[in-house]
Amino acid sequence: MLSVILVFLMGILSLNAQEIRFEATASKTKAAEGEQIKITYSINANASGFTAPNLGDFNVLMGPQQMMSTQIINGRMTQSLSFSFIITGKRTGKFSIGPAKVRVGNGEIKSNNLEIEITKGTTSNPGKAASPAQANKGNAPNGGGEELFVKAIVTKTNTWVGDQILVTYKLFSRYPQLNYELLKMPTFNGFYSEDIQIAKGANGVRETFDGKEYLTAEIKKVLLFPQKSGRLEIPSMELSCLVRQRTNSGNIWDQFFGGGYRDVELKIKSAPVAVDVKNPDLAGKPANFNGAVGNLDFAVKLDRDQLRSGDAATLSISVSGKGNLKLMEPPLLELPSELEVYDPQIKDEISVSSAGMTGTRNFEYLIIPRAGGDYSLGPFGFSWFNPDKKTYETITIPALTLKVAKGSGDPVAGSRKAGATPKQLSDDIRYIRVAVPSFSAQEFDLFFLSTGFYLCLALPLLGFLVFLLWRRRQLERAGNAAFYRTREAGSQAGKRLRHAQELMQAKQTDAFYVEVYRALYGYLSDKLRIPVAQLTQARVKELLAARSVDDAHIERLMLTLNRCEFARFAPGAADDLTAMYEEASTIIQNIENQLKA
């Protein structure tokens, strides 16, 4: 009987395990050099702590992009979470992409491997652009000729890396009736692309081309941003068209009514278009140039310039205008080490249309000062390349002042206001006692020259010595703040974790994860003597490994940071708060013990 129950339970567990799927898929498993490939990691369960595979054999153009969806079908709710990358091959050959990892509950799940083959890219000799008839001649036994063709229309054929090119694939037809089907969509190697929705009324328009009138239809519109210099090719589009042609039939009735008709399938293809892409002048490139191209503007804003230590302020840096806004990376900030600066939240108000990519990309940095004082933020500089003027442009915004008052947990003593006087008492003189005191000379003799008498004499001197030692320690601490921050890193992290525990008991989930995240990163910043703004997971791994911290502890730390980060931006996927609190405490204790060893 017991064995039957065990088999039944094992069956249930195996069914539950089969319900959770973590799959890796690729848009194509064979591609040419420079051709974009989209890889997606999907899981049909609530997960956290996504760890990407090693993509060192590929160029990562974008990612990871996270998307969560929820469906309710017949009263049953299902959730799915996906992470996607857009990559291109660096060189030819067959490459294996290892599994990605996520946490589901208290366990870890790995995806399947992906095999990608990169082949040599095809080359072309664009030369002089062919006429529409020449471009389509010989594409198929039933070529469309000058009566039917598709053409790639580009806004420019000479441009710069990162500049915008609008490409429109347009169908030209002189046939009264036409149905078409896409045979081959173009793949834009060497470009970052954004599809544009075709406007209503753009199809079925009569246009004159080479002296002939055509009925036109826009098949595809795309905005391209070259990612490398040289001669790049905008590839062909292939269509299969079913047209109605007039025939010279021998039937008397067809001749009487003007002839007969037949439906003919014609396969047509647009001519490829060559684009010459130049790199901006490297000799004149500003030091803070990070690839921004367009007609742009730059602004910096601090939501509050006066606060207390421990409170938060938001520094907003926005780039607006027309350009490659979606490709812009967060600017590198150099701020005082007493300020905790967290990774920015990116908020986009960007539209993509036939007029190009326009709008605003905003980077919001959360700043938390550790101690009171006046801090100078900046100055802030931003440089971009203007393709219209063919030159670099730079905007420099003067430094902003952040005034921080001393908070209750400020480790640095604040200054005391000059001229402060004690409050005068209302009754500062006691009444005269006329009664004789009850002490005797013998009692006085017992105290005089006794141990207590000498202790009373020594107390002021001891107090003065203690004050001198305390004052000296404060001066040493102010002169070597970094040493004390390192020594007290564990203590400061413990205070934050206790605060996180209070937030957990108050069921403030979002604030709990933020405080755990601050405790871990604040501990690493203090212990490694590196500002939070310059801490990345890769650098943390490198520094901890250099100090002989076990790989297992480092992996647990990275996993916990990813879980906190995921919970901050996806509150619905929160983990067990108690387990998260205990895990963070254990990680800090383990790393502290190994760094002291």
- The CATH number of whichever domain residue 500 belongs to comes to 1.20.120
Higher pLDDT, 66 or 182: 182
87/155 same-domain check: no
251/302 same-domain check: no
pLDDT in tens, 287-306: 888 889 999 999 999 999 89
Q: How many CA atoms lie within 13 A of 188 on its CB side?
A: 21
What is the maximum alpha-carbon separation in the chain?
155
Question: Which of 119, 145, 176 finishes a domain?
Answer: 119
Question: Which of 226, 244, 278 finishes a domain?
Answer: 278
212-226 and 165-173 as β-strands: parallel, antiparallel, unpaired?
Answer: antiparallel
Count CB neighbours of 384 within 10 A: 28
| Position 283 in a domain | no
pLDDT in tens, 530-564: 777 777 778 888 888 888 888 888 888 888 888 88
Higher pLDDT, 114 or 79: 114
225/148 same-domain check: yes
347/398 same-domain check: yes
User: Are the C-beta atoms of residues 118 and 26 closer than 8 Å to each other?
Assistant: no
Confidence bin at 252 (pLDDT 50/70/90): low
**C-alpha distances in Å from residue 345, one per residue of 289, 316, 508, 569:** 21, 10, 21, 10
**C-alpha distances in Å from residue 5, one per residue of 8, 15, 16, 19, 237:** 5, 15, 17, 21, 62
User: Are the C-beta atoms of residues 246 and 283 closer than 8 Å to each other?
Assistant: no
Q: For the residues 462-468, what does the mean pLDDT come to?
A: 86
Residue among 556, 549, 528 at smallest CA distance from 591: 549
pLDDT in tens, 97-107: 999 998 887 88
Structure tokens that stand for 208 in this block: 């004159």
72/142 same-domain check: no
Higher pLDDT, 73 or 426: 73
User: Are the C-beta atoms of residues 304 and 369 closer than 8 Å to each other?
Assistant: no
100/160 same-domain check: no
Alpha-carbon span 442 to 146, nearest angstrom: 133
Residue 478 pLDDT:
57
pLDDT in tens, 134-176: 433 333 333 467 888 999 999 999 999 999 999 999 999 988 7
User: Are the C-beta atoms of residues 384 and 288 closer than 8 Å to each other?
Assistant: no
**Which stretches of 300-340 are DSSP H helices?**
none
Strand order of the β-sheet with 178-184 is 178-184, 238-247, 260-269
488/578 same-domain check: yes
| Position 467 in a domain | no
Residue 72 above 70 pLDDT? no
Alpha-carbon span 98 to 113, nearest angstrom: 5
Structure tokens that stand for 8 in this block: 């039944």
Confidence bin at 246 (pLDDT 50/70/90): low
Chain length of the chain: 597
Residue with tokens 């002839």: 259
Alpha-carbon span 529 to 483, nearest angstrom: 9
Residue 62 pLDDT:
66
User: Are the C-beta atoms of residues 100 and 111 closer than 8 Å to each other?
Assistant: yes
Structure tokens that stand for 45 in this block: 């369960």
Residue 95 belongs to domain with CATH number:
2.60.120.570
Residue 352 pLDDT:
92
Alpha-carbon span 559 to 526, nearest angstrom: 20
pLDDT in tens, 183-242: 888 889 999 999 998 887 778 788 888 888 899 999 999 999 999 999 999 999 998 888
Give strand pairing partners of 102. Answer: 109
Sheet strands (E) in 210-259: 212-226, 230-234, 238-247
Give strand pairing partners of 209. Answer: 212
Cis peptide before 286 (omega within 30 of 0): no
Q: For the residues 448-463, what does the mean pLDDT come to?
A: 81
DSSP state of 412: S
User: Are the C-beta atoms of residues 256 and 245 closer than 8 Å to each other?
Assistant: no
CA 353 to chain centre: 24
| Position 6 in a domain | no
Query: Of 75-79, 106-110, 166-170, 449-453, where does the model show the most confidence?
Result: 166-170
Residue among 248, 284, 242, 250 at smallest CA distance from 267: 242
Domain that holds residue 176: 132-278
3-state class (DSSP) for residue 436: coil
pLDDT in tens, 320-350: 999 999 998 888 888 888 888 888 899 999 9
Residue 133 above 90 pLDDT? no
3-state class (DSSP) for residue 451: helix
Residue 127 above 50 pLDDT? no
Residue among 519, 521, 522, 511 at smallest CA distance from 568: 511
| Position 446 in a domain | no
Confidence bin at 470 (pLDDT 50/70/90): confident
262/144 same-domain check: yes
Alpha-carbon span 587 to 569, nearest angstrom: 23
142/246 same-domain check: yes
pLDDT in tens, 376-389: 998 999 999 999 98
| Position 432 in a domain | no
| Position 243 in a domain | yes
Residue among 419, 413, 408, 407 at smallest CA distance from 471: 413
138/234 same-domain check: yes
Residue 447 pLDDT:
66
Residue 546 pLDDT:
82
Q: SS in 3 state form for 253-287?
A: HHHHCCCEEEEEEEEEECCCEEEEEECCCHHHCCC
DSSP state of 326: G
The mean of the pLDDT values for the chain is 78
583/497 same-domain check: yes
| Position 49 in a domain | yes
| Position 566 in a domain | yes
Q: For the residues 235-251, what does the mean pLDDT come to?
A: 75
Domain count for the chain, please give it.
Answer: 4
Confidence bin at 573 (pLDDT 50/70/90): low
Give strand pairing partners of 105. Answer: none
**C-alpha distances in Å from residue 152, one per residue of 186, 226, 257:** 11, 17, 39
Question: Which of 405, 435, 451 finishes a domain?
Answer: 405
Strand order of the β-sheet with 107-110 is 48-51, 101-104, 107-110
pLDDT in tens, 481-508: 556 667 777 788 888 888 888 888 888 8
Strand order of the β-sheet with 158-160 is 158-160, 273-278, 230-234
Task: Encode burial over 433-460: b for 16+ CB neighbours within 10 A, e otherwise.
Answer: eeeeeeeeeeeeeeeeeeeeeeeeeeee
**C-alpha distances in Å from residue 129, one per residue of 224, 362, 559:** 20, 42, 55
109/240 same-domain check: no
Residue 301 pLDDT:
93
Residue 395 pLDDT:
92
Residue 437 pLDDT:
65
Residue 368 belongs to domain with CATH number:
2.60.40
Residue 319 above 90 pLDDT? yes
User: Are the C-beta atoms of residues 249 and 255 closer than 8 Å to each other?
Assistant: yes
Residue 250 above 70 pLDDT? no
Residue 589 pLDDT:
85
